[in-house]
Structure formats: C-alpha cells, structure tokens
C-alpha cells in the first residue's frame, strides 16, 4: 500500500499538466525550487482578494485577519521543526539572508582574531561566503571538514578539527550536489564539547527530512520555503532564544522598534527584533498552505517516497556505462539528488538535450565551486526528486540520456 496517493498528488500541481517542446513536463530540478500545489496558489490569491492589509499595525478587520493568518504560519513552522519556543522563529527573505543575519549579528559580536569557523567541503556558497567575509574582517580562520571517497563527512577528521579554537560549526543538513545527509547531531556533540555553536543550513534537508531542532541539537537552523512547496521570498531562521536575545538587530526600522526617542531606541521583543519593515505577508501566509500540505502527506512518507525513487534511479543509472555518479550510492544515506557526468560531455549539453524532451534538470556548479574543484570538474548535471515525481519519469529521464548517445556520440549504454 502506498504511503500517499501519488496520482492524486500530481493532480494538485497545475504546472505538471503543461508541455515543454511538445512533450509532457518532467520536472527534476527540485533542489533549485519546488513546484506549488493549487492550495498554495489559492492561499496567495485569497489574501490579495479578501484581506490584503499590513500586519501588527492596524485595528481594522483586514489587518487583524492578516496578522492572525501570518502569525499562524509562525506557529505551523514551529511545530514543523519541533522548536520549543515560538519567539525563536524569525522570518527572512530566504535561507541566504538568514545565514547573513547570524554572520552579521552573532558573528560580528562573538568572532575574535584567531577563532576558527568550521565548514564542510560541500557547503553551498550561501553558507560559505558570509563566513569568508566575516573571517577576513575579524582575523578568524576557516577550517574544513573533508569528505570520504563516497562523499560523506569523515567524523574521525571532524573530531581532530573541532577543538579549543572552534567558535562555530556551520554545515549543511543535506548536500545539494552529493545528496549526502550530514550527521548533524554527531557534529553538534563535538562542537558543544569544545564550547562552539552549530549553524545548520537546512535549505535542502528540511523540505525532505522530518526535522527537530532538539534532535539536531543545533543552535541555529536556516531554510527556505520555496524548496518545500511554498512561494519564493520566504526564509526562516530559528535560533536558541538566549542567543537571539543577546544579538544586536540585523536591520532597523519598522516592526523591530519597541520605542523611539530623539536620542535612543528600545528594540522590540523576539521575534520582531529581527523583522524590520513590512514583511512578505502574502507569501508567508501562502507558505502556511505548503506546510499544511506536507503535514497531510507526512514527512516520513515524503522521505520513504524519495528513498524509493532515488534507489530506482541509482540502479537505472548503472545502465549507462560512462556515467559517473557523485555521492553515496546507498539511497538511505542521501536525499533525492543525483549529480552525474559523462566523459567529454559538458553538463550544459546534457541539460539542453534533456530539455528537448521536456525534462528539466540542473547543470552547472550548483553554487558549490570549491566542491567542484575537489571533484576536479567544472560542473555536473543534476536530477533532483520530490513528492510528485514518479518512476515513469525516471524512465523517461534515462531514455532521454540514452537518446543523448545518438546526438553526442559519447554515452555508451549497455
């Protein structure tokens, strides 16, 4: 018996009915952004049609309705990540802004010359460049957790790297290139034993894995709603309340104000202290519909579906003699992301050929150029799966790759 009705799920996504180049759309670029179910689109339209108003500032009906809907989403997100405290859930524009918020506010207050910031070798630029800039400014040092041959974190090396000088460990929850699921709790244990904090980039992990900030034992968690069926322009920062209380504001003005005098200001309480100006009200409210949708499916079911698809795709990829697949080969150790290359074929050419068959994948460095240098490639082709993808679509994907052999003359298939 299936965990959820896949056929019905597909009907919930209007975009899946369209054609590309005369072929039914096969959308395998979910690591970049996920498609939106009709309920999310309707929630967005409903706000603008029925109660469009600014929040937290009005006593009229529309404002009160908008405020109630907006704050209900904060509660939904708190539940979704099993956070113990509602005031620790802060809305940002995206996960990138959330990382920058911590780097600017916590980092510039706490990172000192000689301190070390530990990152993994597979970090997205969004969880790398802010720390590069901070380290350069503060005289700190970046230290890297290296990967095993299978693309996993080497915990032995991690234990030797995380030490007395470590101030922060900032790691992805799941690699957007390798699909590797990072043992965050184990790294957090090492970090906390050394007196360091842990920031988790959950942009890839939270949409696909049942998440508890308590079980991760992290100090900060960031993620974006657009990768989990919600609209673009909504991110989340969760942080331990005692840390957030001690941090200075990132931006100023608007809702982050408690009281203002000519010569001084008193900041608002959490979470509003970090939510300056009019927020992205409509998209936050529509994100609530996305959270509700995932909750109805059940995150354990989401994960089980992706393991099944990934295992099937990895087995089918073995039919391609020249395909080089990166990351763990065990579907239980990775998310629904498969990055691959063929000898002498540029990944952009693969992406273009697949697009002719209506198949959308990603090609390039995936905002992970240091990892690409470690892999000794300029980029990879990447297929990534989500709740509405099917084994039939994977078959179409493989057939298109086999067809590429006729076009490029490089892909040899058994």
**What is the set of active-site residues?**
367
226: buried, middle or exposed (CB in 10 Å: 19+, 13-18, 0-12)? buried
Whole-number Å distance between alpha carbons of 205 and 183: 12
Extended beta strands in 235-374, E state: 235-239, 257-260, 265-267, 323-326, 337-342, 359-360, 362-364
Strand pairing class (116-120; 380-384): unpaired
Q: Establish how many alpha carbons lie within 13 A of residue 77's alpha carbon, considering only the half-sphere containing its beta carbon.
A: 31
Q: Token match 């039914």: residue?
A: 24
Whole-number Å distance between alpha carbons of 311 and 394: 11
Instruction: Judge whether 363 and 382 are in contact, CB under 8 Å.
Output: yes
Whole-number Å distance between alpha carbons of 372 and 341: 12
Whole-number Å distance between alpha carbons of 215 and 194: 19
Strand pairing class (323-326; 337-342): antiparallel
371: buried, middle or exposed (CB in 10 Å: 19+, 13-18, 0-12)? buried
Question: Which CA distances in Å does 210 have to 294, 298, 328?
Answer: 10, 9, 20
Instruction: Judge whether 196 and 167 are in contact, CB under 8 Å.
Output: yes
């Amino acid at each position: 018996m299936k965990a959820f009705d896949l056929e019905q799920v597909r009907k919930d996504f209007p975009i899946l009915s369209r054609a590309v180049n005369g072929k039914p759309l096969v959308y395998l670029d979910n690591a970049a952004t996920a498609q939106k179910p009709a309920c999310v689109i309707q929630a967005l339209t409903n706000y603008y049609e029925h109660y469009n108003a600014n929040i937290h500032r009005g006593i009229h009906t529309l404002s009160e309705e908008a405020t109630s809907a907006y704050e209900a989403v904060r509660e939904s997100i708190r539940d979704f990540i099993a956070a113990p405290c509602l005031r620790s859930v802060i809305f940002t524009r995206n996960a990138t802004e959330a990382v920058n918020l911590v780097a600017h506010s916590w980092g510039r207050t706490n990172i000192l010359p000689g301190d070390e910031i530990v990152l993994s070798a597979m970090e997205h630029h969004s969880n790398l460049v802010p720390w590069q800039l901070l380290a350069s400014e503060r005289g700190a040092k970046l230290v890297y957790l290296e990967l095993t041959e299978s693309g996993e974190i080497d915990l032995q090396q991690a234990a030797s790297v995380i030490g007395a000088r470590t101030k922060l460990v900032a790691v992805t929850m799941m690699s957007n290139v390798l699909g590797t699921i990072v043992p965050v709790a184990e790294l957090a244990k090492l970090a906390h034993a050394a007196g360091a904090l842990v920031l988790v980039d959950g942009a890839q992990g939270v949409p696909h894995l049942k998440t508890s900030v308590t079980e991760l034992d992290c100090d900060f968690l960031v993620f974006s709603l657009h990768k989990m069926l919600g609209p673009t322009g909504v991110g989340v920062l969760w942080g331990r309340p005692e840390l957030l209380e001690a941090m200075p504001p990132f931006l100023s003005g608007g809702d982050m104000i408690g009281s203002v005098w000519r010569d001084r200001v008193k900041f608002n309480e959490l979470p509003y202290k970090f939510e300056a100006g009019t927020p992205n009200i409509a998209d936050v409210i529509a994100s609530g519909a996305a959270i509700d949708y995932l909750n109805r499916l059940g995150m354990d079911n989401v994960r089980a579906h992706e393991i099944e698809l990934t295992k099937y795709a990895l087995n089918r990829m073995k039919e391609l003699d020249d395909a080089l697949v990166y990351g763990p080969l065990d579907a239980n150790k990775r998310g629904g992301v498969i990055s691959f290359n063929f000898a002498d074929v540029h990944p952009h050419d693969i992406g273009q050929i697949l697009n002719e068959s209506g198949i959308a994948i990603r090609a390039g460095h995936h905002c992970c150029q240091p990892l690409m240098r470690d892999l000794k490639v300029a980029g990879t082709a990447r297929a990534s799966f989500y709740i509405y993808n099917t084994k039939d679509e994977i078959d179409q994907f493989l057939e298109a790759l086999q067809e590429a052999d006729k076009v490029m003359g490089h892909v040899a298939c058994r």
